[in-house]
Structure 1
Amino acid sequence: MQLKRPLAASFAAARTCSQEKGSQVIQVDIPEPVKSVLNVLESGGYEAYCVGGCVRDSLLGRVPEDWDAATSALPEETMALFPGRAFPTGLQHGTVTVREGSLRVEVTTFRTDGTYADSRHPDSVTFTRLLEDDLSRRDFTVNAMAVDLRDQLTDPFGGQADLREGILRCVGDPEKRFSEDALRILRCLRFSAALGFSVEAETARGLRSCRELLRGIAAERVQVELTKLLCGFAAAETLREFPEVVGTVLPELLPMVGFDQHSRYHCYDVWEHTLHALDAVPAEPVLRWAVLLHDAGKPACFTRDERGGHFYGHPAVSAQIADAILRRLKFDNATREAVTTLVLWHDRDIPRTEKGVRRALMKLGETRLRQLTEVKRADNLGQAPEFRTRLRELERGTQILDGLLTQNACFSLKQLAVSGRDLMELGFRGPEIGTALNRLLSAVVDGDLPNETAALLSAARAQDFLSV
């Protein structure tokens, strides 16, 4: 696999200032609170470094989300250096969290790991005074670098070179690394998608040979890694190269791979269509999951006649598959309902008229309708070029939507000019109230009634109102 995009080019050669005895001095903008923590550790007579992802991101010119420190100090020694500000958050693994101003810095003692019986956590750890021992247990070379207060970089496994080349390579034997902690398999794919890096050949073989270990990973952890993967700018390319790996935790996707649609509207199989659509939708979790799953039901719905392939009813089947996947991965109800709604509606025609858009607004609300437009747009961009004709219609629908919102058009019960209390005063009781309100709203949305209190109450007073 070639480097997906020139993100590695952002690794500025200018950041490397000089070389001294095989180590390099670089420029890393360590935040002042983190410098303070390192200073205290060093003043206590211990080694202290920033390690892992914060070093990687700094070298790439990105702003790190977190700053982690590693030290030769034992956990109790670290605690003693920060009285009242250090909290044991993972003592069994040597981790202490230090509060420095508004920042929380995780400080972990140099360690080596024992065996991993559960392919997730080490059965034991051994503290060490050597930084290189600690770096040697890490997952990928680009995450196995450390930098100190003097900007001196320790890079025993060639992480800098792999950053420049845009390569993900395991530290040591890939199968051993992935067998120790199977979540590293998904982390590798996530880094590939987020950074646009290729996966080195031996590491790729290790991903594939160890993929069955993913079945033992907690659903919540799988959810987090897959969502980050999907939101990476190179998500489609990563999924394209490793469908069998992702398919270990999302087996519902595998029937899509190579499934010929036999349709003049589609120049790609179901999987390739999905990946092209994924590339075309904004990198937001709900949208990316909806596009990934929007055609998952197609293989089960396939029929063929003299006119070609058909997938009647596939949105409903796809929505059922999406619901099952999102439940299995322990998604929150709001996300699950949003994704399954978008999947269910993705192929539904919404007339590009004020009435059509009003009705869609009533059923979906503004946020969901705008998300649906993005999904429909991406879906159309994944079709054969000569049939990418719906884009103008979608834009027209958005213009109508914007106009309705500018006019403060009524499309929800809370905007209706009458309330349940008003109907109770007319004698409505129990379920009749909800039924009446929804009928009044439908009449307003369809343009049959103005959203005016007098007109709505007059309609509600009609003897046959509820029987219509």
Structure 2
Amino acid sequence: MELPKHVERILTTLESAGREAWCVGGCVRDALLGRTPEDWDITTSALPEETLSLFGPRAEPTGLRHGTVTVKTEAGPVEVTTYRIDGTYRDRRRPESVAFTRSVDEDLARRDFTVNAIARNLRGELRDPFGGREDLRGGILRCVGDPDRRFQEDALRILRGLRFAAALGFSIAPETAEALRRNRAGLGDIAAERIQTEFFKLLPGDHAAEILRDYPEVFGVFWPELLAMVGFDQRNRHHCYDVWEHTLHALDAVPGDVVLRCAMLLHDVGKPACFTLDEAGVGHFYGHPAVSRELADGMLRRLKCGTDFRETVVRLVEWHDRDIPRTDKSIRRALRILGEEDLRRLILIKRADNLGQSPAFWDRQGELDKAEAILDRLLEEDACFSLKQLAVKGGDLLALGLSGPAVGAALEALLSKVIDGALPNRREALLAHLQETGGTGQKEESE
């Protein structure tokens, strides 16, 4: 693997001062896998004060207590951390103290997984005391040393491990998997924001459905609502899977986008609470989209998700089972409420939801093709579905003598008429209608 020039220069500076320096962690792992590293981390025998002195004004003391100095480069910041041995972890996040060491092997011994405990120096030499390269070749995720200790030091490593497996398609070594399950309760001590970050990196992974299937009890620590879906028989001919398996098949059928994957994971979370059996023994889930929406909203709030993200996901959950007739009027109405991006997302979700059902009912894909074709045509024709596209503006209504809330109400009424096809989106036609209706945009019904 070839090192970027800005990384080479940092390594060269440290070695020229008589210190050891290695690239370490995820950047080495990704490079060995033929992937482009997102960022580069360096570990060195130089003490933090030495690193600060060597790089002068380009160096910032971003974590001196733990030996970390950030070096600013033209390609972005690079963290340079002194070899260290971690002390006791009491908050399941960071060690209370660290001891600096002159041994790169001792530094590698504190890391989470063998594939992240490989170092590479300026000359391309690899330091791999724990068999990380062999695990990379075998596609195995294994803790460095005692897995129970690793997960008890920082329980977030449980989700990090599952995230790596979801992204890379690695299997988890049996002893690591057992310890991961055994220590899962520790996630209850982790800040919601840290869980959100790792979990939302996991969901887009190509193998996310497999990991969710194998470890539901882990995710149930912070989202216990998921566990009610596991093994829940739907008792309905439309479904060949239980609620959890249906969810995972549907999740696997949408692109690896975190909004889509999150909406797909939560779209049926309300089903167990809505289950009823009719006289023929057939299962029904009346009202489950609304219940799923409320549960999803609470779950996303607990993970401290941003408002825009949360509202988008819960809107898609609420709409996932709503029928949108394949007509211009209905698609324009959906565009008005959802906008193009979310309507396209909804179509993807409906496709995946259908593909998670019994194959005999996959013919719904054809109806979704029709909806998508109408959407494409309307957008190509620049069909009006929002106020900014309307041929009249607020100033036009003010000129007619309207003011205050009446302006907004009249614009909304006109837009509704245009969307329904009752009026063309032409300025003269809209103004004529306003004059005819006395400026309200709505005709009074005769008594």
Structure 2 equivalent of residue 442 of structure 1: 416
- Structure 1 residue 44 corresponds to structure 2 residue 36: no
Q: Do the aligned residues in 1 keep the contact of 2:331 with 2:374 (CA within 8 Å)?
A: yes
Q: Following the alignment from structure 1 to structure 2, what is the Cα–Cα distance between the partners of residues 166 and 253? A: 28
Alignment match, 1:303:
276
Query: Quick one: which of 102, 107, 124 aligns to 2:80?
Result: 107
User: Offset at 1:323?
Assistant: 0.9
8 Å contact kept, 1:120–1:180: yes
* Partner of residue 55 from structure 1, selected from 11, 28, 38: 28
Query: Is 2:379 aligned against 1:429?
Result: no
Q: 2:122 aligns with which of 137, 149, 155?
A: 149
2:173: which partner in 1?
200
Q: Give the drift of 1:332.
A: 1.2
- Equivalent residue of 1:99, what SS? strand
Residue 119, structure 1, aligned to residue 92, structure 2? yes
- Preserved CA contact (<8 Å) 1:37 1:100: no
Provide structure 1 residue ranges, at least 5 long, that are not aligned to the other structure: 1-27
SS of the equivalent of 2:237 reads coil
Q: 1:132 aligns with which of 55, 80, 105?
A: 105
In structure 1, the residue matched to 2:54 is 81
How many residues align? The count is 441
- 1:353-432 matches, cutoff 5 A: 353-432=327-406
Task: State how far apart, in whole Å, the 1-side matches of 2:73 and 2:190 are.
Answer: 34
Aligned-partner SS, 2:92? coil
CA drift of 1:356 comes to: 1.4
Q: What is the 5 A alignment of 1:6-21?
A: none
| DSSP 3-state at the match of 1:83 | helix
What displacement does 1:307 show? 5.7
Aligned ranges for residues 244-263 of structure 1 at < 5 Å? 244-263=217-236
Query: 2:207 matched to which residue of 1?
Result: 234
Listed one character per residue, the Cα deviations across residues 101-136 of structure 1 (whole Å, up to 9, x for unaligned) are: 233211000000000111111010000000000000
Corresponding residue for 1:7?
none
The equivalent of 2:429 in structure 1 is 455
Gapped regions of structure 2 (runs ≥ 5): none
SS of 1:400's equivalent in the other structure is: helix
Q: Which amino acid aligns with 1:271?
A: W
- Match for 2:209: what amino acid? A
Matched, 1:211 2:184: yes
Q: Which moved more, 1:384-393 or 1:236-245?
A: 384-393
User: What's the CA shift string for 1:30-58, capped at 9, x where partnerless?
Assistant: 11110110001001000000000011001
Output the CA distance in 1 between the equivalents of 2:394 and 2:227: 50
Q: 2:8 aligns with which of 32, 35, 39?
A: 35
**Distance in 2 of aligned mates of 1:118 and 1:224:** 18
Bigger RCO (CA 8 Å, 6+ sep):
1
Kept after mapping to 2: 8 A contact 1:110/1:127? yes
Of residues 117, 137, 141 in structure 2, which corresponds to 1:168? 141
Root-mean-square deviation (Å): 1.1
Q: Report the AA paired with residue 338 of structure 2.
A: L
Equivalent residue for 1:23? none
Deviation at 1:372, TM superposition (A): 0.4
Deviation at 1:427, TM superposition (A): 2.7
Q: Is the 8 A contact 1:449 1:455 kept in 2?
A: yes
In 1, the alpha carbon distance for the partners of 2:412 and 2:302 equals 34
How big is each residue's C-alpha offset from its partner over 1:405-442, in whole Å with a ceiling of 9 and x where there is no partner? 11111000110111122222223232222221111111
Contact 2:141 2:161 in 1 (8 A): yes
1:77-117 CA distance string (max 9 Å, x none): 11111111111111111000112323321100000000011
Aligned partner letter, 1:145: I
TM-score, with structure 1 as normaliser: 0.93
Distance 1:349 1:423 in 2: 36
Counterpart CA distance in 1 for 2:287 and 2:118 is 52
